[in-house]
Chain A
Amino acid sequence: MIQRSVVALFLLYLLLPLSGILGFTLLDGGRLTLAHYRQSLGDAEFAAYMAHSLVLAAGTVVLGVSLMTFTTFWVHMRARSLKPLLELTAFLPFVVPAVTLALGLIQLYSRPPLPLTGTATLLVLAYTVLTLPFAYRAVENGLAAIDSRTLSEAAQSLGAGWWRRFLTVIVPNLWPGITSAALLGFALVMGEFTLALFLVGSAYETYPLYLNQVWRTDPKYGAALAVLSFLITWASSVAILWTSRRAPGQMQGAALR
């Protein structure tokens, strides 16, 4: 009985703020309305900034996942002694809060030779850093589950070259892990606020920055955009659970907070 009440209270607490924001955006003077959601359809700024976030997400996912898949496999096959070092490096972004990463990046890249502050490029590179921990985990778990060496040697004995083996034998076997890492990366970029604020700000405004800005002038519309953000997170989380049948929630780390 006590246990049931604890879990019930817990679920209630987690649903409470969602009830507030849904009521706030869906009710106008006691009448149900979708007007605040529909507002986004005719909003050119929203479309532009959503497109920015999608571009950033695509760039981050492609760069982060391919870099980590290739490197982890390479270490696995040719430099096993470096595995602890790779593991440590991939863990590091966990120890570095977004605000301190931004602090270091701003100082390095606000001047030549690489004046990147204010560009989408720098944001993609910074987001890629944040994807390293879970991308590494996903690929490493995949490699541990398959006998990659035997697979690779079998393919080699059939005359397949290195790249062919990597792309047609190893990658398909790692696909579930790669998919969940990609989805995590996507959800991360679609919700990330801190790095976007400090590294680019209005120079390449993103969807999370926009919803924060809208909130100040039009709270109902801003809140509707926040609900949309919840929906994106929710859909990505469900897709991750569905593809990996594991609980990857904790892997996103502090990046979003």
Chain B
Amino acid sequence: MRRGRAAHLLGTAAGLAPFAVFVTLFLILPVAQMLAGAFALPGGGAGLDNFRRALAPQYLEAFRTSVALSVETALVGAVAGTAVAYAIVQGELRHRQTLVITFCTVTSNFAGVPLAFAFITTLGVVGWVTVAFQAVFHVSLYNDLGFTIYSYLGLVVVYTYFQLPLMVLLAVPACAALRREWQEAARNLGAGAWRFWRDVGIPVLAPPLVGAAALLFANAFGAYATAYSLSSGAINLVPLRIGTLINGDVSFDAGLANALGLGMTVVIAAAILVYQAANRRARRWMR
């Protein structure tokens, strides 16, 4: 009997081995290598040298810019995406729900290099919107208003493109959890619209929407391809800094890249923790 159980346990472990080996080699070890490498000194031993260099002004600035870009596009995406989700779930456009959701599913996967090209051909120097704007308003977006698609503002416009449909997809179930009967019940009990939103609407909607916004933040913070093809290094973002440090021959500096990568992982992990905590609270109302 004992031998049978031991054999059973051994069998169970054998079935788990391929996955365990794979995940260890290609997910756990690479992350561990980065985290440990951040503390490694060039001559051997451990220390905080890489972090001291990562605290240089240009890298702090990169973190500030990355955080600002992610926060701004997450907020714009969250507000506009919620409005759209509400309109197609509860509001006037319920009959168009399937159409809009299908559209969002497709466009939320448009990203990276092709998306950057699409925006350059639209809002670039000779993009048709730029040309049409000049023809209609006699004001040049580039020469008079100082806009360029290759700038920080340009990145905000492009990042918002993949944030918006993602937010709609995340906000639809949240808005669906806000049941119509509640609004009717509140009205029957004498509550006005303001009272309903304060006591029922916002408390029910806030957790899933905050969680979704945290996910959008992480989504933008880790993005590389879109920024790479739009900014050609002109905009100071953490992923681009890491890319330069590991891809360049002259600038190769794994230790510094590891320290920046550790910082990035901490920021994203924090956002994911907010997402999970918010989701746990949200689940009470979801059915």
Which of B113, B127, B169, B170 contacts A226 (CB under 8 A)?
B113
Cβ of A75 within 8 Å of any chain B Cβ, yes or no, is yes
Cβ of B221 within 8 Å of any chain A Cβ, yes or no, is yes
Which of A21, A102, A236 contacts B118 (CB under 8 A)?
A21
Cβ of A108 within 8 Å of any chain B Cβ, yes or no, is yes
Query: Is A257's CB under 8 angstroms from B26's CB?
Result: no
Stretch at the interface among B49-57, B140-148, B180-188, B241-249: B241-249
Stretch at the interface among A53-61, A137-145, A153-161, A208-216: A208-216
Cβ of A31 within 8 Å of any chain B Cβ, yes or no, is no
In angstroms, Cα B118 to Cα A18, docked, is 6
A253 CB to closest chain B CB, in angstroms? 8
Task: Enumerate A154-198 residues with CB–CB distance to B below 8 Å.
Answer: 187, 191, 193-194, 197-198
Cβ of A252 within 8 Å of any chain B Cβ, yes or no, is yes
Which of B119, B129, B166, B246 contacts A198 (CB under 8 A)?
B246
A248 CB to closest chain B CB, in angstroms? 7
Query: Is B26's CB under 8 angstroms from A7's CB?
Result: no
B264 CB to closest chain A CB, in angstroms? 6
Query: Is B121's CB under 8 angstroms from A21's CB?
Result: yes
Query: Is B103's CB under 8 angstroms from A19's CB?
Result: no
Query: Is A14's CB under 8 angstroms from B15's CB?
Result: no
In angstroms, Cα B222 to Cα A173, docked, is 36
Query: Is B112's CB under 8 angstroms from A4's CB?
Result: no
Known: A17-B118, A100-B242. Is A7-B166 also a contact (CB below 8 A)? no
How does the 8 Å CB contact mask read for A198-239 relative to B, with 1 for contact and 0 for none? 100000000010011001000000110011011001101110
Query: Is A247's CB under 8 angstroms from B106's CB?
Result: no
Nearest CB to that of B115 among chain A residues?
A: A17
In angstroms, Cα B161 to Cα A11, docked, is 11
How does the 8 Å CB contact mask read for A47-76 relative to B, with 1 for contact and 0 for none? 000000000000000000001101100110
Query: Is B112's CB under 8 angstroms from A254's CB?
Result: no
Query: What's the dominant secondary structure at chain A's contact region?
Result: helix
Query: Is B30's CB under 8 angstroms from A104's CB?
Result: yes
Which of A68, A75, A104, A187 contacts B109 (CB under 8 A)?
A187
Which of A223, A234, A257 contacts B121 (CB under 8 A)?
A223
Query: Is B100's CB under 8 angstroms from A7's CB?
Result: yes
**Which residues of the partner chain A approach B65 to less than 8 Å between Cβ atoms?**
none
Query: Is A97's CB under 8 angstroms from B224's CB?
Result: yes
Cβ of B137 within 8 Å of any chain A Cβ, yes or no, is no
Query: Is A16's CB under 8 angstroms from B16's CB?
Result: no
Known: A7-B96, A82-B16. Is A97-B115 also a contact (CB below 8 A)? no
Known: A13-B161, A128-B26. Is A103-B222 also a contact (CB below 8 A)? no
The listed residue with most B CB atoms (<10 A of its CB), out of A1, A79, A108, is A108
A183 CB to closest chain B CB, in angstroms? 11
Give the number of residue pairs across the A-B interface with Cβ within 8 Å.
Answer: 262
Query: Is A4's CB under 8 angstroms from B92's CB?
Result: yes
B153 CB to closest chain A CB, in angstroms? 15
Interface residues on A, range: 35 or more
**Which residues of the partner chain B approach A191 to less than 8 Å between Cβ atoms?**
109, 111-112, 114
Query: Is B23's CB under 8 angstroms from A89's CB?
Result: yes
In angstroms, Cα B112 to Cα A230, docked, is 11
B100 CB to closest chain A CB, in angstroms? 7
Query: Is A238's CB under 8 angstroms from B27's CB?
Result: no
Which of A82, A100, A211 contacts B113 (CB under 8 A)?
A211
Query: Is A96's CB under 8 angstroms from B27's CB?
Result: yes
Which of B22, B108, B168 contacts A128 (CB under 8 A)?
B22
Query: Is A19's CB under 8 angstroms from B22's CB?
Result: no
Query: Is A248's CB under 8 angstroms from B105's CB?
Result: yes
A-B contact pairs, 30 of them (CB 8 A): A3-B83, A7-B96, A11-B100, A17-B122, A18-B118, A19-B122, A20-B119, A74-B12, A89-B23, A92-B31, A95-B218, A97-B221, A97-B223, A99-B224, A99-B264, A100-B222, A103-B246, A104-B29, A104-B31, A104-B34, A128-B26, A132-B27, A191-B109, A193-B224, A223-B121, A226-B117, A230-B118, A254-B223, A257-B111, A257-B219
Q: Which 6 A-B pairs have the closest CB atoms?
A: A20-B122, A104-B30, A97-B222, A17-B118, A257-B223, A226-B114
Binding site for A on B (CB under 8 A): 11-12, 15-16, 18-19, 22-23, 25-27, 29-34, 37, 80, 83-84, 86-88, 91-93, 96, 100-115, 117-119, 121-123, 127-129, 161-162, 164-166, 168-170, 172, 215, 218-226, 228-229, 239, 242-243, 246-247, 254, 257-258, 261, 264-265, 268-269, 272
Binding site for B on A (CB under 8 A): 1, 3-4, 6-7, 10-11, 13-14, 16-21, 23-25, 67-68, 70-71, 74-75, 78-79, 82, 89, 92-108, 125-126, 128-129, 132, 187, 191, 193-194, 197-198, 208, 211-212, 215, 222-223, 226-227, 229-230, 233-234, 236-238, 240-241, 247-250, 252-254, 256-257
